[in-house]
Every structure is written in C-alpha cells, then in structure tokens.
Amino acid sequence: MTDSYKTCRGGPLYVRTMTPRLDAIGIITADLAASLTFYRRLGLDIPAGADSAPHVEVTLPGGQRLLWDTEDVIRSFDAGWAGSRGGDRVGLAFRCDSPAEVDAVYADLTGAGYQGHLKPWDAEWGQRYAVVLDPDGCAVSLFADAAK
C-alpha cells in the first residue's frame, strides 16, 4: 500500500478526544397516551401526568433513558420527517424472570387488547420468547432463560 492514507506513519492518524456513549433510546409515537399505557403494563415507572406531554423521559435501572416523542414534536424540528419506512429497525426486549412469566406477560398484554405477533415458544437459542406489538406497531420482545 503506497497511498499515504493507507499507511500509518509514526502513530495513529486519529486521536479520539470524545467518548460518545449510548444514553437514551427514543420512541416516536402517534398516540402518546396509548404508548405509555402499554409500557406501563410492562412495568416501566412512567409518571401518571405524562400522558398529555409532548415529550416523556424515564430513567431505567442502570441509568439508560427511554424517551417518547409525539410525531408532532418530531415534525416541529424536522419538517421533512415522513415516519417509519420499511418495518422495524430497532426493537425493545424485556427480560422476564421465568418462562412462565413470559407466558403471563404475553397473556396480560394480548388480553388487554394489544396485538400478539409471535406467541410464546421455546426458542432454539435457549430462551422462552414471545413478541407483542406496541400501539404504534413496533415489535416488543419478551424473553427469559429456558427452564433447566
């Protein structure tokens, strides 16, 4: 390799001075109240008065944040935003304490009217697994280590 950009001479070409870190995961929703109700059923501690806010944040165990924004909030700073195109790109997965809890949470959510996508099954990778759809149609996985 003779091109100078392909050869490192005397040290690294790029010295990292920043340390980006994943801090938050955002959900854009058509119906904020419906989305918050769904995620409350999964055990997230979302303040009761948040349903009418345009933006909501909760801090998860471990410090990560989960954010919700209405479609109108996104359009307020991105006039060209046209919504999702082409299916799920990011999915949320909730760990349950046992295979029985996967079944119970799936039954609770589908019993409350949320759409089941994949009924609970024993996955070949050693987990009890199920998938439900949130009110915006995003896949939410439920899983637990398989019973031993």
Band of the pLDDT at 5, cuts 50, 70, 90? Answer: very low
In this structure, what token pair is assigned to residue 55? Answer: 């933006």
Residue type, 114: Y
Read off the pTM: 0.78
Q: Tokens 């109240």: give the residue.
A: 33
pLDDT exceeds cutoff 90 at 99: yes
Residue 87 DSSP code: S
Q: What angle do CA 95, 49, 97 make, to 5 degrees?
A: 15
Distance set, CA 4 to CA 7, 14, 16 (Å): 5, 14, 20
Query: Are 138 and 29 spatial neighbours (Cβ–Cβ below 8 Å)?
Result: no
pLDDT exceeds cutoff 80 at 13: no
In this structure, what token pair is assigned to residue 127? Answer: 């987990």
Q: What angle do CA 93, 38, 91 make, to 5 degrees?
A: 25
pLDDT exceeds cutoff 70 at 25: yes
